[in-house]
Amino acid sequence: MSDLADIKNLDDIKLLVDSFYAKVREDNLIGPVFNEKIGPNWPAHLERMYRFWQTILLEEHTYSGSPFPPHKHLPVEKEHFNRWMEIFTETIDALFQGKLAEEAKLRAKNMAEMFFYKIEYFRNGGRNFFEN
């Protein structure tokens, strides 16, 4: 039995986000994509991610806007999303256990799938890749 606690406050969100993105930045597959896009703006990106997850998980409405547009033209494929999800899940499982930890993994999975399908949609000139 693990003695990990659940996500319960902003400090936990910051620990999650900082730990996750430290791994992302060093990853051979997705690190270059993130580092190229974000460049020297990591502090601002991390602050935005704190607010995003604080809004999603703690229902403290500190994030506004649409998370998809900055991702619309990224050079990513399905394996990038799979790796992102793998790192996210590993990070959660190493740090937390409980209802909100599971909710975070579910929300991340749903978001990754949606982003992948939207990116493919725009790459195909606005056509759904399920269409002929």
Q: Residues within the annotated binding site for heme? A: 71
Q: What is the DSSP letter of 29?
A: T
Q: Are the beta carbons of 14 and 90 closer than 8 angstroms?
A: no
Q: Which residues does the annotation place in the binding site?
A: 71
Q: What is the DSSP letter of 9?
A: S
CA distance 22 to 67: 20
CA distance 98 to 127: 40
For the CA atoms of 60, 62, 70, 12, the dihedral, rounded to the nearest 10 degrees, stands at: -60
